[in-house]
Structure 1
């Protein structure tokens, strides 16, 4: 296990040090929550074009529940495992680029979990109408997740585990949503 943690630290340092100060503002923007509001509006538009208004309400409820679920699970893991973020690890700080930092603990990445939740949830619900969507949305989720490594606030394993949790929970919530929508249509 310690060997895996050492490799994770080495990979973080390698990826973090590939960065350049001229790109830092871009990655800070990518990791921000508010910059993606126009994209979320596009997602909402695609949902409205695919489903009836009553179904959209159920979909939005399940998105809110799913994001809340992944955030809460991430919080439980962060404080339960208590792995320091790279930007709080005194042994790493001299060897990495410090751009920003977050809370003390970082396992696992909420950004990765939430973006991959949205990617898998929407891919399963609307890709039958928009075949191009899964590729685009998973690229977006990957870029958002990578920003966390670039900025030095998460180790690669934090991001990978977060992406896995987000993908699985997005799939689970999408399947539950499909069941609810089928039952709602049969009423």
Structure 2
């Protein structure tokens, strides 16, 4: 059963990855790079300061950084436990993939999916009552995570699991910040 799931995971990646074309490669290379998402992060920081004033806003921004650091380290821990090869390093399928980058770390679970989903969930929960359009923040993890499939550096299970873990992290950090805010800013 597990072997069948892994085989389906590989087949789905090969299919999705091969939908790509040279015409779109540069677009997905931009999407996968955190640097190009800085305007989104800056806009969210602006919204936090606008909605919560400078003290609480600064606390929330620092809390997001702490959440991102935790998410990153937790992802690295999971990778160290499972040690799943990235698709671009998997000799069984790497010749069947279009790969544009070749990271060497392990694949399971996707840090891009985990951290971007944690960020989106946290920001959504913080701002949903104040800014109804904040739901559009979920476009970020969808595109950011899909870029990893397009580039052939993660399997679909890595992305799905990363999104699930990121949802849990985002929710847990939201609850933790609510508790701390009630104590610090009461």
Q: Common fold, TM-score beyond 0.5? A: yes
The alignment's TM-score, normalised by the length of structure 2, stands at 0.96
Match of 1:100 in 2: 101
Instruction: List gaps (5 residues or longer) in structure 2.
Output: none
Match of 2:156 in 1: 156
Match of 1:29 in 2: 30
1:52-80, CA deviations, whole angstroms, 9 ceiling, x for partnerless residues? 21111221222111111111111011121
Match of 2:88 in 1: 87
Match of 1:42 in 2: 43
C-alpha contact (below 8 Å) 1:78/1:105 kept by paired residues: yes
The farther-off stretch of 145-154 and 91-100 is 91-100
List structure 1 segments (4+ residues) > 4 angstroms apart after TM superposition.
none
How many residues end up aligned between the 2 structures?
185
| TM-aligned CA deviation for residue 180 of structure 1 | 1.4
Instruction: List gaps (5 residues or longer) in structure 1.
Output: none
1:148-177, CA deviations, whole angstroms, 9 ceiling, x for partnerless residues? 000000000001111111111011101111
Alignment RMSD (CA, Å): 1.0
C-alpha contact (below 8 Å) 2:149/2:156 kept by paired residues: yes
Q: Distance in 1 between matches of 2:33 and 2:62?
A: 23
The alignment's TM-score, normalised by the length of structure 1, stands at 0.96
1:1-187 counterparts in 2 under 5 A? Answer: 1-134=2-135, 136-186=136-186
C-alpha contact (below 8 Å) 2:48/2:61 kept by paired residues: no
